[in-house]
């Protein structure tokens, strides 16, 4: 009875989580839930008093799926940068792993799948809290969880592929500030893309986060559009697939040259 | 007996740099085989090719009768690897390091637990099983790395500079453990730049320099073939005195090698040569007679010392 190699790679991450879960749960969930309270309830109340609705939704209903997927993206970005460089550069545990029957390509796939599992866990907790606050009007809402997980994979796979090529972590804070933060703010998370200057809208629509947020919002509000949603899923799957293909090469080059 | 590992014209290139330059060697089951040489001689590159984590650039390599390019995973399943740099998992405990590594080999958990108990006993870390890795001493980390490398009960254990950076006591403890493994029939393949380590552990070794093998044999045979029986070491007060004495000493013995702080005089009768040197009044501050070692073999073959 053999276990697939990528699952065995994930077992290591699960073991670390089993030891450190308290700190991880806290750091993973605190920020999104604070955002939900501040934006959904605080700002949402203000929006209600002034314009009433955003894209036909209460602001809480609008922002909750956006925050959920954006948090999954942030989790994925963090986990695909420092720990990956740690595995190849600081702890060098990936070097120990490729000395076993596990291959470099299986490490990147297993690691990214583990990040997706983490995103499912974090999104589920967020989803339950959002539902308790009344931010999930539709029973289709649970589909927002796989949407967030897919979006996490779309970020984790290419970023992990890139991180493994580095020698220092100097560029990571830059990626967070210049890449992840603008996506977080301008991917239809806090306001519809229609608020952006028309020239910037196509740019924002290229963001994988936007595709994830659209999927999740369609689910929580029960406004699924099959054609558009298939496109969103395909875009995100393409990011995952391209990330895996690239990662197999970069991990192999770094670990087995 | 079929060789466990066999290399013919084995070559490793990194871009234009040739790290391993067409070497041949055969390693047989149950022996302790060493690659001795200075840093940069190509030892680690050779080990990485044997360990199937570095593709061969030229020549042929067979490990356990298989081709690393085609059967890397199957070969690695039967190897144990102790790398030069510790790469233990510092986010896990001692025990979990063994459990997780065992899972990489797809071993059942109950079997890993059984082996982990035994291995911790073997490397004398049982009382540290729940400790994290960071607080362990250098010697303990090395021993844990060896335990980890043995979790799949490998037929061949690859050790890259196993005792570099360890204090003498930790080195001797490690040698003693490795010696026991060898007695249990595990084939040991190691690299080292310590000639005492090579003499202690290796049945047979090759001396590498600049990507090539310059000599091969048992430690005793290598000394007998390439060096004289004894060596007279002459130390001088000042470098200029040593320099001035060189030509005179050369008239007294056929082979004299100057190194940084002394002259090494190769001779079959150390006492007689020492007496001749003293009688000649070359003005050495100290004269020491000792047996020739692998260090001398390396110096004679390459003109350089191992640890420079």
Q: Average pLDDT for residues A65-78, to the nearest whole number?
A: 97
Residue contact B99–A15, C-beta within 8 A:
yes
- Considering only alpha carbons, which residue of chain A is nearest residue B97? A12
Residue contact B76–A16, C-beta within 8 A:
no
Query: Cα–Cα–Cα angle for B42, B47, B52, nearest 5°?
Result: 130
- List, as ranges, residues 19-58 from A with C-beta within 8 Å of B: 19-20
CB contacts of A15 in chain B (<8 Å) are 92, 96, 99-100
Query: Of A29-38, B105-114, B141-150, B201-210, where does mean pLDDT reach its minimum?
Result: A29-38
B90 reaches A (C-beta below 8 A): yes
CB contacts of A255 in chain B (<8 Å) are 53
A168 reaches B (C-beta below 8 A): no
Residue contact A20–B89, C-beta within 8 A:
no
A15 reaches B (C-beta below 8 A): yes
Q: Checking DSSP bridges between strand B79-82 and strand B156-160, what pairing results, if any?
A: parallel
- Cβ–Cβ < 8 Å for B157, B181: yes
Task: Provide CATH code, domain B228-292.
Answer: 3.30.70.790
Residue contact B85–A97, C-beta within 8 A:
no
Q: Average pLDDT for residues A24-31, to the nearest whole number?
A: 84
Please provide residue B165's backbone torsions phi and psi, each rounded to the nearest 5 degrees: 85, 0
Tell me the C-alpha distance between A255 and A234, whole Å. Answer: 31
Q: Quickly state the pLDDT bin for A75 (edges 50, 70, 90).
A: very high
Q: Quickly state the pLDDT bin for B7 (edges 50, 70, 90).
A: very high
Residue contact A15–B106, C-beta within 8 A:
no
Work out the mean pLDDT of chain B and round it to a whole number. Answer: 94
A18 reaches B (C-beta below 8 A): no
Among B76, B104, B156, most A C-beta atoms within 10 A, so best to mutate, is B104
At residue A171, the pLDDT reads 97
Q: Quickly state the pLDDT bin for B283 (edges 50, 70, 90).
A: confident
Q: Which of B53, B93, B152 sits opposite A255 (nearest CB)?
A: B53
Residue contact B85–A92, C-beta within 8 A:
yes
Residue contact A19–B85, C-beta within 8 A:
no
Taking the CA atoms of residue B120, residue B122, residue B124 and residue B127 in that order, the dihedral angle to the nearest 10 degrees is 30
A8 reaches B (C-beta below 8 A): yes
Residue contact A93–B76, C-beta within 8 A:
no
- Considering only alpha carbons, which residue of chain B is nearest residue A255? B53
DSSP letter string, chain B: ---SEEEEEEEEEETTEEEEEEEEEEE-TT-EEEEE--TTSSHHHHHHHHTTSS---EEEEEETTB-HHHHHHHHHTTEEEE-SS----TTSBHHHHHHHHHHHTT--HHHHHHHHHHHHHHTT-GGGTTSBSTTS-HHHHHHHHHHHHTTT--SEEEEESTTTT--HHHHHHHHHHHHHHHHTT-EEEEEES-HHHHHHH-SEEEEEETTEEEEEE-HHHHHHHHS-SEEEEEE-SSHHHHHHHHHHHHTTSSEEEEETTEEEEEES-HHHHHHHHHHHT---SEEEEEE--HHHHHHHHHSS-TT-
Residue contact B87–A15, C-beta within 8 A:
no
B99 reaches A (C-beta below 8 A): yes
CB contacts of B96 in chain A (<8 Å) are 15, 19
Domain boundaries, chain A: 5-255
At residue A24, the pLDDT reads 82
Tell me the C-alpha distance between A11 and B100, whole Å. Answer: 7
CATH 3.30.70.790 domain locations along chain B: 228-292
CB contacts of A114 in chain B (<8 Å) are none
pLDDT tens track for A204-239: 889 999 999 999 999 999 998 999 999 999 999 999
Taking the CA atoms of residue B39, residue B45, residue B47 and residue B52 in that order, the dihedral angle to the nearest 10 degrees is 160
Q: Average pLDDT for residues B47-69, to the nearest whole number?
A: 97
Residue contact A100–B77, C-beta within 8 A:
yes
Q: Average pLDDT for residues B139-156, to the nearest whole number?
A: 97
- List, as ranges, residues 56-95 from A with C-beta within 8 Å of B: 91-93, 95
Order across the sheet with B58-63: list the strands: B17-27, B5-14, B58-63
Please provide residue A149's backbone torsions phi and psi, each rounded to the nearest 5 degrees: -65, -40
Query: Of B57-66, B95-104, B228-237, where does mean pLDDT reach its minimum?
Result: B228-237
Work out the mean pLDDT of chain A and round it to a whole number. Answer: 95
B130 reaches A (C-beta below 8 A): no
Please provide residue B260's backbone torsions phi and psi, each rounded to the nearest 5 degrees: -50, -50
B89 reaches A (C-beta below 8 A): yes
Task: Provide CATH code, domain B5-219.
Answer: 3.40.50.300
Among B15, B19, B53, most A C-beta atoms within 10 A, so best to mutate, is B53
pLDDT(B308) > 70: no
pLDDT(B195) > 90: no
pLDDT tens track for A84-109: 999 999 999 999 999 999 999 999 99
3-state SS assignment for residue A54: strand
Question: What share of chain A in percent tops pLDDT 90?
Answer: 84
Long-range pairs for B119-127: beta carbons < 8 A, 24 or more residues apart: B119/B147, B119/B150, B119/B151, B120/B94, B120/B95, B120/B147, B122/B147, B122/B150, B122/B177, B122/B180, B123/B147, B123/B177, B124/B173, B125/B94
pLDDT tens track for A142-195: 999 999 999 999 999 999 999 999 999 999 999 999 999 999 999 999 999 999
Residue contact A101–B91, C-beta within 8 A:
no
Among B14, B66, B74, B89, most A C-beta atoms within 10 A, so best to mutate, is B89
Residue contact B104–A101, C-beta within 8 A:
yes
Q: Which of B79, B90, B100 sits opposite A91 (nearest CB)?
A: B90
A100 reaches B (C-beta below 8 A): yes
Residue contact B53–A2, C-beta within 8 A:
no
Residue A98 C-alpha, separation from nearest chain B C-alpha, in angstroms: 7
Query: Of A104-108, B183-187, B302-306, where does mean pLDDT reach its minimum?
Result: B302-306
User: Would you state the structure tokens that stand for residue A187, as one six-digit string?
Assistant: 């991917």
Contact pairs from chain A to chain B, CB under 8 Å: 76
Q: Quickly state the pLDDT bin for B165 (edges 50, 70, 90).
A: confident
DSSP assigned state of A138: S
CATH 3.40.50.300 domain locations along chain B: 5-219
Tell me the C-alpha distance between A187 and A182, whole Å. Answer: 8
Tell me the C-alpha distance between B53 and B12, whole Å. Answer: 12
- Considering only alpha carbons, which residue of chain B is nearest residue A98? B53
Q: Quickly state the pLDDT bin for B2 (edges 50, 70, 90).
A: confident
A11 reaches B (C-beta below 8 A): yes
What is the C-alpha end-to-end distance of chain A, expressed in Å?
Answer: 32
């Amino acid at each position: 009875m053999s276990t697939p190699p990528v699952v065995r790679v994930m077992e290591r991450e699960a073991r670390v989580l089993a030891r450190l879960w308290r700190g991880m749960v806290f750091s993973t969930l605190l920020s999104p839930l604070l955002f939900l309270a501040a934006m959904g309830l605080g700002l949402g109340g203000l929006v209600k008093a002034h314009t009433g609705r955003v894209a036909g939704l209460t602001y809480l209903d609008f922002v909750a799926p956006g925050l959920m997927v954006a948090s999954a993206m942030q989790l994925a970005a963090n986990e695909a940068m420092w720990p990956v460089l740690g595995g190849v550069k600081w702890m060098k545990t990936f070097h120990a792993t490729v000395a076993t029957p596990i291959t470099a390509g299986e490490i990147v796939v297993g690691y990214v799948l583990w990040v997706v599992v983490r995103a499912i866990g974090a999104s589920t907790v967020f989803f339950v809290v959002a539902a308790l606050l009344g931010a999930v009007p539709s029973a289709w809402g649970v589909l927002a969880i796989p949407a967030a997980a897919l979006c996490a994979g779309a970020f984790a796979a290419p970023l992990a592929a890139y991180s493994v090529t580095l020698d220092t972590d100097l560029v990571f804070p830059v990626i967070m500030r210049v890449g992840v933060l603008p996506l977080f703010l301008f991917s239809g998370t806090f306001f519809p893309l229609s608020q952006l200057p028309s020239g910037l809208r196509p740019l924002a629509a290229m963001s994988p986060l936007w595709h994830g947020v659209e999927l999740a919002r369609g689910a929580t509000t029960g406004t699924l559009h099959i054609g558009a949603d298939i496109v969103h899923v395909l875009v995100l799957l393409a990011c995952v697939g391209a990330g895996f293909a690239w990662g197999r090469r970069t991990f192999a080059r770094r670990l087995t040259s | 007996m079929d060789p466990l590992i066999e290399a013919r014209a084995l070559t490793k290139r990194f871009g234009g740099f040739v790290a391993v330059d067409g070497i041949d060697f055969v390693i047989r089951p149950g022996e302790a085989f060493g690659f001795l040489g200075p840093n940069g001689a190509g030892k680690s590159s050779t080990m990485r090719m044997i360990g199937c984590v570095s593709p061969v650039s030229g020549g042929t390599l067979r490990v356990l009768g298989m081709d690393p390019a085609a059967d890397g995973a199957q070969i690695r399943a039967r190897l144990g690897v102790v790398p030069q740099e510790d790469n233990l998992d510092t986010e896990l405990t001692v025990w979990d390091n063994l459990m997780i590594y065992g899972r990489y080999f797809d071993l059942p958990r109950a079997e890993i637990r059984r082996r982990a108990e035994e291995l911790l006993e073997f490397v004398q870390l049982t009382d540290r099983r729940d400790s994290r890795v960071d607080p362990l001493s250098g010697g303990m980390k090395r021993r844990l790395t060896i335990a980890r490398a043995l979790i799949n009960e490998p037929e061949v254990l690859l050790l890259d500079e196993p005792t570099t950076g360890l204090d003498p006591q930790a080195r001797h403890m490690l040698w003693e453990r490795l010696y026991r493994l060898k007695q249990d029939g595990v084939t040991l393949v190691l690299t080292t730049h310590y000639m005492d380590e090579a003499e202690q552990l290796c049945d047979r070794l090759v001396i590498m320099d600049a990507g090539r093998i310059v000599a091969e044999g048992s430690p005793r045979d290598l000394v007998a073939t390439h060096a004289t029986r004894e060596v007279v070491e002459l130390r001088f007060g000042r470098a200029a005195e040593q320099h001035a004495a060189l030509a005179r000493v050369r008239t007294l013995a056929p082979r004299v090698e100057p190194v940084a702080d002394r002259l090494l005089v190769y001779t079959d009768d150390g006492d007689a040569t020492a007496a001749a040197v003293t009688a000649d009044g070359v003005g050495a501050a100290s004269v020491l007679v000792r047996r020739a070692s692998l260090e001398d073999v390396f110096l004679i073959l390459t003109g350089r010392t191992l640890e420079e």
